[in-house]
Amino acid sequence: MIDMYVKCGFTRCARKVFDEMPERDVVSWTGLIVAYARRGDMKAAQDLFDGLPVKDMVVWTAMVTGYAQNGMPENAVEIFRRLVDEGVEIDEVTLVGVISACAQLGASVYAKWIRDIAESSGFGDGSSVLVGSALIDMYSKCGNVEEAYNIFKGMRERNVFSYSSMIVGFAIHGQVHAAMKLFYDMLETDVKPNHVTFVGVLTACSHAGLVDLGQQIFATMEKYYGVAPTPQLYACMADLLGRAGYLEKVIRLVERMPMKPDGAVWGALLGASYVHGNPEVAEIASKHLFELEPDNMGNYLLLSNTYASVGRWDDVSRVRKWIREKNLKKDPGCSWVEGKNGMIHKFAAGDVKHPQINEIKKELDELLERLKGIGYQPNLSSVLYDVNDYEKRLLLMSHSEKLALAFGLLSTDAGSTIKIMKNLRICKDCHIVMCGASRLTGRKIVVRDNTRFHHFFNGACSCRNFW
């Protein structure tokens, strides 16, 4: 009965049956835990899990996977630690769940830890395509695309998932030539590309501004490879054209779509409108997004920021009024960086809670003064508030990635790479600071924002200022 209610999505009914059962087996507990996880109610899932007297591998896996799929990687890792400590047997599904969590965290210390466990469990020797593909994705998202490629090369068998994971990995690191070479190498094998493969290929083209190549591939996917364009692939094309500034071409692409455009397609157009400062096109995209995703705070913010980028402050106020009326909450910008001991340190914009905040601010002040000596001037257009220039400079100094950079300089060995993860798009001013800091300090700085990786070294970025 519980299984039937769970499959139909009637979680309350399943819980009522569960509560009335005189005796419950682990299958009943697990089924309900999975149902709560699918709904995103991990508190209810955790409460049930804690009350389960005897836990098997399946229910442990359900918790690890549930936390990972709901964007709570720290919790997934903690559950997996408990699983390991209790000596529970580990299978491929459990490993893939925690590897996904480690990929979200983007911390190399976790990558090494889970790789060691995978190898000791007999799944890290290249024999498991499932685990190997997950490890490729993890290392790519932890900023180590070289190690991801080493895993790929060491796999005894490769399928479309391993090829696609590696192509996507190259793409998000801006290594377009490596991504395209691997794609063409794949075509020489018996492995056939799928839509995920082409997401990686088009993403590589998008990050490098290869509009003609991307259009050619998109136009021939179905004819030569049997892959029909999906909404996700249309979103990739909208991103490719939009990043390059072809906003009208995006609109024409959307008009020719054989299916109704989804939020990802309109979101790509809205994001491009912000990058290129085009509020008229932003209004077209946002109108559709407000219908499709009425409670998505990010869409309102992008429209507001587009207005702000061209100084239309009355329109900014109007959008922010809508946000207040709908009682939407903004996800605060945050960045995290690994300290010398592998501990992850998180920073929010304007953070004052870190125990070393005074040292961090001093380090940042000194860095910015040195940058001014080589010509740095704050990019005040990166502040999307109608305040004076002095206040804009103060706001820029408090950006979370700058605080993370200063902490990285303080807490890691000279000459080591500083890796910073950020939940939002890096702003132009922070990008300039990262370039200058890499030149002044001789350090390589890697920043993962919500779109791609930026590798800063000797005053330049791998994105070539196109992102």
Is the residue at 379 inside a domain? yes
pTM score: 0.88
Q: Residue 426 and residue 335: Cα distance in Å, rounded?
A: 10
Is the residue at 281 inside a domain? no
Nearest of 267, 344, 334 to residue 306 by alpha carbon:
267
- Here the tokens at position 196 are 């995920």
Number of compact structural domains in the chain:
1
Q: How does 157-180 read in b/e, with b if 16+ C-beta sit within 10 Å?
A: ebebbbbbbbbbbbbbbbbbebbb
- From the number of C-beta atoms within 10 Å of its C-beta (0-12, 13-18, 19+), residue 393 rates as middle
Q: How does 186-224 read in b/e, with b if 16+ C-beta sit within 10 Å?
A: beeeebebbbbbbbbbbbbbbbbbbbebbbebbeebeee
Is the residue at 21 inside a domain? no
Is the residue at 349 inside a domain? yes
Is the residue at 421 inside a domain? yes
Is the residue at 180 inside a domain? no
Is the residue at 12 inside a domain? no
- Here the tokens at position 185 are 């190498």
Q: Parallel, antiparallel, or unpaired for β 460-461 and 418-422?
A: unpaired
Q: Residue 417 and residue 305: Cα distance in Å, rounded?
A: 32
CA 1 to each of CA 15, 20, 23, 59, 122: distance values in angstroms, whole numbers, following the listed order: 11, 12, 14, 19, 37
The continuous run of DSSP H or E covering 66 comes out as helix 57-69
The continuous run of DSSP H or E covering 200 comes out as helix 195-208
The answer to whether 225 and 193 have CB atoms below 8 angstroms apart is yes
Q: What tens-digit pLDDT sequence spans the chain (467 residues)?
A: 666 766 666 777 777 777 777 777 778 888 889 888 988 999 999 999 999 988 999 999 999 999 999 999 999 999 999 999 999 989 999 999 999 999 998 888 888 899 999 988 888 777 789 999 999 999 999 999 999 999 999 999 999 999 999 999 999 999 999 999 999 999 999 999 999 999 999 999 999 999 999 999 999 999 999 999 999 999 999 999 999 999 999 999 999 999 999 999 999 999 999 999 999 999 999 999 999 999 999 999 999 999 999 999 999 999 999 999 999 987 788 999 988 777 889 999 888 899 999 999 999 999 999 999 999 999 998 888 888 899 999 999 999 999 999 999 999 999 899 999 999 999 999 999 999 999 999 999 999 998 899 999 999 999 988 87
Entry field: residues in the chain = 467
Residue 280, phi-psi category: left (phi > 0), alpha (psi -120 to 50), beta (remainder): alpha
Is the residue at 222 inside a domain? no
Whole domain around residue 438: which residue ranges? 334-461
The answer to whether 135 and 115 have CB atoms below 8 angstroms apart is yes
Distance of alpha carbon 95 from the chain centroid? 20
- From the number of C-beta atoms within 10 Å of its C-beta (0-12, 13-18, 19+), residue 112 rates as middle
Q: Residue 420 and residue 109: Cα distance in Å, rounded?
A: 13
